Amino acid sequence: MQYSKKVLDYFMKPRNLGELSNADGEATVGNPKCGDIMKIYLKINKNEAGEEIIEDIRFQTLGCGAAIATSSMATEMVKGKTLDEAYKITNQQVADELGGLPALKMHCSNLAADAIKKAIENYRTNTPK
């Protein structure tokens, strides 16, 4: 199985790794087929236009190199984005940003996109309007 240099970089030097105290939204997702588990933490703030943006994001992933790399890349892709922009991220976009993933590892990028969506839903459900 061949990984791109970018996948290896994001696995060896993950960005946004760790817990985020006082997170505004969080979610845990897993893949029962391979055992990978990912937790995402969001810190939300409003920009000058009043839009809710992801000010900070962290992740904790127990899984293979591809799962860690996709977690890291997905957090980089949505940091600073509005919630609506971040919610639209797809597993294919995450994989493309990493220069592709082997077909057997595409399920790993699903975790990242799913975790971000669920963390946004968690925030929206638990935040008074």
Q: Are strands 25-30 and 52-62 parallel, antiparallel or unpaired?
A: unpaired
Tell me the C-alpha distance between 70 and 58, whole Å. 13
Based on the residue annotation, tell me whether 64 is a catalytic residue of this protein. no
119: part of which helix (H) or strand (E)? Answer: helix 106-126
Q: Are strands 37-46 and 25-30 parallel, antiparallel or unpaired?
A: antiparallel
Q: Catalytic residue, from 6, 9, 17, 34: name it.
A: 34
Q: Catalytic residue, from 108, 112, 119, 120: name it.
A: 108
| Catalytic (active-site) positions | 34, 108
